[in-house]
Structure 1
Amino acid sequence: MASNTDLSKLVIWMVFLLHSLGNGLAGGRNITTEQSLQVKAYRKFLNRPAIKSIKTTNRDIFDCVDIYKQPALDHPQLKNHTIQMRPSTYLMETKNKTSTFEVPNIGLKNGGCPFGTVPIPRTQIKDIPMAGSHPRFGQKDDERNFPHHWAAMGMKERQSLYGTAAFLNVWKPKVQHDIQFTLSQIWVTAGPYPDENYIEAGWHVYPKLNGDYEPRIFILWTVDGYRSHCYNFQCQGFVQVSRKISPGIRIAPVTTYGGTQYGISLSIVKDMRSGNWLLLWGEDQSELIGYWPKQLFNHLADKAEDIQWGGETYGPLPFPEMGSGHFPEEGAGKACFINNIRVYNNPGTKRDLDPSETHTKTTAPDCYRSIVGRSEEGTYIYFGGPGGNCARQA
């Protein structure tokens, strides 16, 4: 387990580097020569030497980096870390229910990166945004600036939990400002307020982070209740393993109102042997995208205490859409959902979630709502809404 001292040193180092960048880059501000050099140094830290580069059809660039030279392994707790290349056998043998929805083929073409390398999204200098004097690269914006809203469900009782698997319906909700985001995710958590550990994974639309308004796979983790936290690869920790699917990759095609329903199957699971938290792709959990080593965490080092599923938005008025942009009462084909939800009560033992075990959290019912139930696709949550200027907030 990472000591508080080691984690504090890492956080202090990252905060110092980020805050030293000063004003600029966003909003057309000028920056000094020294600040420009610091930005370039940080970009060099993120962008490792590439053995090969892959440009996607939407002009994203993924650099194929030596798997042992990826940013994660700069973490002080991961010195001499041996990379876990595959899940424990029990996960590979576990079969999920067959979904009736479509799964977009989002992996990098031709098998992705060469063996021994992993895809890391390339960061351009223009991708390092600032907010006033405080840069916000790869981090959630300060909740004191604008509100976060949720339409989600979680477990009624805290208990020993070891992960979750689910199918996440994917849409392209509208956001009104670059600093807004809207997302659908699964997340596991442990620890007391205000020092919770969180691991999150799902899809989001977040133009400030990604430079566009497209839905993309994302991850986020924190060990101190979001006082320091990071998306994707913007700080050391998450170990990429897959050669073809990576956080930051665009999801296409997506669901349309009344049309074909597209979605992705994701799992966050505690590995029985290594103790790492795995991020798995697919209904059969056959693709290990990567993992968070157990050494990163204190409260999540052994198990989770709560799991949640649903949507979140952030930003100023008018609030962005969530999910399909329609309320969950409109139902199948018109509202966003997460279904086929399973939980792990013991390492390696997966079961269907019962709706009676859950409670819902809806913070702006005039903008977003949620409905929980059960169908042949397992337990589900329909959630979302049009956003806008909410008159009533919980």
Structure 2
Amino acid sequence: MIWTAKLIKHREENRIAVQFEKNSALINRIKEFEDARWSTKKSVWHLPDTHENRDHFKIIQYENTIPSVEGIEQMHKFNQWLSSKRYSPNTIKTYTEALKSFLVFYREKSIKDITNDDIIIYNNEYLLKKKLSASYQNQIVNAIKLYFRTVQETKIDVEKIHRPKREKILPNVLSKQEIKSILDAHSNLKHKAMLSIIYSCGLRRSELLNLKLIDIDSKRYIVNIRQAKGKKDRITPLSLKILELLREYYKVHKPVKYLFEGIELGTIYSEQSLQSVLKQALEKAKIKKPVTLHWLRHSYATHLLESGTDLRYIQELLGHNSSRTTEIYTHVSTKSLQQIKSPFDDL
């Protein structure tokens, strides 16, 4: 049988479209499938989107990218709820996409019939089979727990939804010499200033991009970081060396609103362009490590700790809610380790 098959949406219903050359024997064969229909508009035969039909027509991907009609409606409601609670756009996108993955997996099941056992099945049959990370699984759990707290009729016991065992991953840290090589790599004043202030103030990527001219307080030597992660304001010291670099940058580029602007004045600099700035610096500095912008923030915190700064101050400077988050830098600081003498040296 020569045919092609693909997933389609027909009258708000998930279906499998099957196309083949007109042949009476083939038409009689397709009619044997339960609920097989002919679409005059699409000029295809289409069948219910079931696992059996997918297997028969060798549609390999397990998940459709579209939830059920009910799932789409619930995603919209969840999105609206998150917006009304003033979650950040990034969090809304992350949680909505995470919920979508779960609802796509159970698109043939009514949401009110989903149980805690179904979540365990999803973890095993989808997340673990696809070898997705524990951090992604944790995002899914966050989204599911938050969503089912907003649903009235449900069989889910939110408090019994378990999280994956926390991975103990240490932050990636660069040496001061590596940092210097990266910051000195660019001759472009704007690019040099962007990377320098990320490291010197321990900024997140979004915090740098959203900095405005009024956030630089040159009289008090501080940077005001407004409505950062967790919708919190904080301040961080502005070194005299960075202030001089920013003044030099301002004379050349003259931004009007944001500290670092896009091609058009007054527009925010793009995340992709900032990533490219770092990539170019790494190439010029001939650093082969898979460095990300967040490595600069990790390095800032670790270097502060190694220079004797109290952990409580570092917590405030980074904007961490919990001291436990900041304490992880004690595991990557080499100050104490360098004082330990290896027994190998005595052999």
TM normalised by structure 2 equals 0.20
Q: Larger Rg: 1 or 2?
A: 2
TM normalised by structure 1 equals 0.18
Higher RCO (CA 8 Å, separation ≥ 6 residues) = 1
Q: Higher helix fraction: Structure 1 or Structure 2?
A: 2
